[in-house]
A = this chain, B = another copy of it.
């Protein structure tokens, strides 16, 4: 689907941010539209004025992007069809002719300056950091000469014709941001053998027992968890929603059985999509291994056996 040049995408703007950089990995066709906020992006998809939206889901430093989670479960169903994980690859950029020693002011989004705090202290200890509203706005401020330099995404520096004074300046060199491509519901992408399924699970009480029940439904079917976040459901105290990322695909037997179990025991459950796990180009990611007894073939064999018992033909 992403290869279709006619697909109309929206993404969290402004231009020149990591969101645009992530969208380039999905489609390099022109004409994708930046929007001002995550709610606006998802509303465009719900309303049909866009086919899909690329929005941030979590940042390895800043954590979950709450507004994305909330907007996914508030309103008509939407479906994640792809994830894109990109390094948080901050650069310090300036107009041509300014070098590092001359930098006295740095425009930066507060989250960006927080992530580069150690680097700034070591390399430009005298510089004042001036807060701006986005990484794109930081690049613009440097381009206009409002500040000497900017912390921004590489794509933002390039878009404003800035020179990179330093690259990879984030204190956590492995920091990444995870974006998701969201569309209206439809049949999920085909299983690849290494997929993620995202869920929003409502439980009635803030009890370890209720959460244990949820995890046990997954564990019994050998479904691993790669992320869990609790959030108040907004419907009053004592009602929680948990966002889970599980290994597996809705089309697989073991995940299907686990989903049915959650459907039966949870106060509510929203399926947010099954999609291929992001794989790094040239990475050494290994295929996940399904535990003995939990493959689709094992499920089929057990179903056949049960049918035999019910018909009076044990083996």
**Chain B CB within 8 A of A51 CB:** no
Is B260's CB under 8 angstroms from A188's CB?
A: no
Out of B187, B263, B313, name the residue touching A311 (CB < 8 Å).
B187
Interface stretch, picked from A89-97, A156-164, A211-219, is A211-219
B226 touches A218 (CB 8 A): no
> Mostly helix, strand, loop or mixed at chain A's interface?
mixed
Query: Do A218 and B229 have beta carbons less than 8 Å apart?
Result: no
8 Å CB contacts to B: which residues of A252-308? 256-257, 259-261, 263-265, 270-271, 293-294, 298-299, 301-303, 305-306
Oligomer: number of copies: 4
Q: Quick check: is A77 within 8 A (CB to CB) of the other chain?
A: yes
- Asked whether B313 lies within 8 Å of A185 as measured between CB atoms, the reply is yes
Chain B residue numbers with a CB within 8 Å of A250 are 306, 309-310
* 68-110 of chain A: CB within 8 A of chain B: 69-70, 77, 79, 110
Flag if A259 contacts B306 (CB, 8 Å): yes
- The answer to whether A230 and B231 have CB atoms under 8 Å apart is no
Complex Cα spacing A265 to B291, Å: 10
Report yes or no: A220 in contact with B216, Cβ–Cβ below 8 A: yes
Docked-complex contact B63 and A117, CB < 8 angstroms = no
Chain B residue nearest to A65 in the complex (CB): B63
Chain B residues positioned under 8 Å from A242 (CB to CB): 228
Tell whether, in the assembled complex, residue A230 and residue B232 are in contact, meaning their CB atoms are under 8 Å apart. Answer: no
Interface stretch among A17-25, A147-155, A201-209?
A201-209
Contact (Cβ within 8 A) B230 A306: no
24 contacts between A and B (CB under 8 A): A37-B110, A37-B114, A39-B117, A60-B231, A60-B232, A62-B66, A63-B229, A131-B133, A174-B236, A174-B237, A185-B313, A186-B312, A206-B227, A207-B224, A208-B224, A209-B219, A212-B219, A220-B220, A256-B310, A259-B306, A260-B299, A263-B301, A263-B302, A264-B302
5 closest residue pairs by CB, A with B: A63-B66, A264-B293, A260-B302, A187-B312, A186-B312
